[in-house]
Structure 1
Amino acid sequence: MTLKYYQDNAQIFFDGTVNVDMSSLYEAFTQHLAPGARVLDAGCGSGRDAKAFQEMGYQVEAFDASPAMVELAREHTGLPVKVMSFAEVDWKEEFDGIWCCASLLHVPAVELPGVMRRLADALKPGGVWYVSFKYGDGEREVDGRRFTDMDKERLEALVAAIAGIEMVEMWITRDKRPGRDESWVNGMLRKV
């Protein structure tokens, strides 16, 4: 369902997200990274963030489940963006930072703990991990896309269930896209 949406609407989604100013979120994430750190953009969409991190001098890997989005992200970033899903993540302690900006929210709630464990396994000890979800407390479908929303309590519980991962900071932001009036819960996690 969600994958079909992105396949059918890749260019529209790309155009609506590629130029959004995410600098405040980049700052919150990159302040925890050493120069040249290895970063995974998991569910990269347009490639906007992967490109920004690459331009900051980080070693970036990126993936998305939608082949149409991956093609656009490859063109935008010049990176060899992979076509893969969260369920296929099998790296072991390879990344200093993982970036999941508005991507995990498409994972059904019942699958989230397993996906989070896979991503945690991909993170090096001491590594940081950014996540964001639309603010709410349930699952819903909107225009052919599935969303798992989180409030602070749900995100805290999700993170607490992952051994070796701690919440460093959690905060609420407003959507940065023009004409959008949504809130997001953001989490900065660390692997201990």
Structure 2
Amino acid sequence: MPQTIAFYEQNSDSFFDSTVTVDAQALYDQFLPLLPEQAHILDAGCGSGRDSLAFLKAGYRVSAFDGSESMGQRASGLTGLDVKHSLFLDFSSDEQFDAIWACASLLHVPLQELSVTFSHLSTFLKGDGLFYCSFKLGNGEEKRGGRHFTNLDEQGFEKVLKSTDLTIARTWITQDLRPGRENEHWLNAILKKA
């Protein structure tokens, strides 16, 4: 993933500007009603901090981290949170979270590392915790514009989760929310601990 991190380090301003105002309320509406009041949410690979800010405004406790130091700084500036600089597999916390939110972030993890990444992150989930994630809909891995992408459909996703303690509660497909990207589709999933 070093190349992908380097992309975000070099393009943090333009990436921040292109994602921070995207309206993701339809995704929140699928997830937040399932959580307890004042749930503690871990925003894993928080990017611009857009979702962390929305959760804070909705009254949730939020912790966040990102693999790109400059994206984390932008997210800290937006949210006022102390955004940790960490890769997924290096993340550690003394906290147990009610929910993990990984919107368009785990898709940068190579396919062969995805199962172990899900297993690692799920150790920070409470027993009844929920885990939201999204991937570009498709199959296989590709490099695009200096970034690594792992694309998944539901079948491929089930294979990834087989060796983890997470099960799929539900999946749904959405169009990309960014202008001009409506032809791109995303696999969204809510997982729970088995």
TM-score class, shorter? over 0.9
Q: Check conservation: 1:170, 1:188, Cα contact below 8 A.
A: yes
Larger mean CA deviation between 87-96 and 19-28 belongs to 87-96
Partner of 2:114: 112
1:179 maps to which residue?
A: 180
SS of alignment partner, residue 110 of structure 1: helix
Which residue does 1:134 correspond to in 2? 136
Give matches, 1:59-138, under 5 Å.
59-91=61-93, 94-138=96-140
Q: CA deviation at 1:90?
A: 2.9
State how far apart, in whole Å, the 2-side matches of 1:55 and 1:100 are. Answer: 18
> Which residue matches 1:40?
42
Does the CA contact (< 8 Å) of 1:93 and 1:121 recur in 2? no
Q: CA deviation at 1:105?
A: 0.3
CA drift at 1:21: 0.6
Report if the CA contact (8 A) 1:93-1:124 is conserved.
Answer: no
TM-score by length of 1: 0.96
Identity of aligned residues (%): 46
TM-score, normalised via structure 2 length: 0.95
Contact 2:116 2:164 survives alignment (8 Å): no
Cα offsets for 1:5-59 (capped at 9, x unmatched):
0000001000000011101110111111111111000000000001101111111
CA distance in 1 between counterparts of 2:138 and 2:114 reads 16
Whether the aligned pair in 2 keeps the contact of 1:137 and 1:149 (CA below 8 Å) is yes
Shift of 1:61: 0.2
Q: Give the partner amino acid of 1:107.
A: V
| 1:53 pairs with one of 40, 43, 55 | 55
In structure 2, C-alpha distance between the alignment counterparts of 1:161 and 1:32, rounded to whole Å = 25
Query: Is the Cα–Cα contact under 8 Å of residues 37 and 96 in structure 1 kept in the other structure?
Result: yes
Q: 1:149 aligns with which of 151, 173, 177?
A: 151
Q: What is the SS of the residue equivalent to 2:14?
A: helix
Instruction: String of CA shifts for 1:130-166, please: whole Å, max 9, x gaps.
Output: 0100011100000100001101101122223212x22
In structure 2, the gaps of 5 or more residues are: none
CA RMSD of aligned residues (A): 1.1
- 1:7 alignment partner AA: E
Whole-Å Cα distance in 1 between the matches of residues 162 and 26 of structure 2? Answer: 26
5+ residue gaps in structure 1? none
C-alpha deviation, 1:120, in angstroms = 1.0
- Distance in 1 (CA, whole Å) between partners of 2:77 and 2:179 is 24
- Alignment equivalent of 2:9, drawn from 7, 12, 18: 7
The answer as to whether partners of 1:92 and 1:121 remain within 8 angstroms in 2 is: no
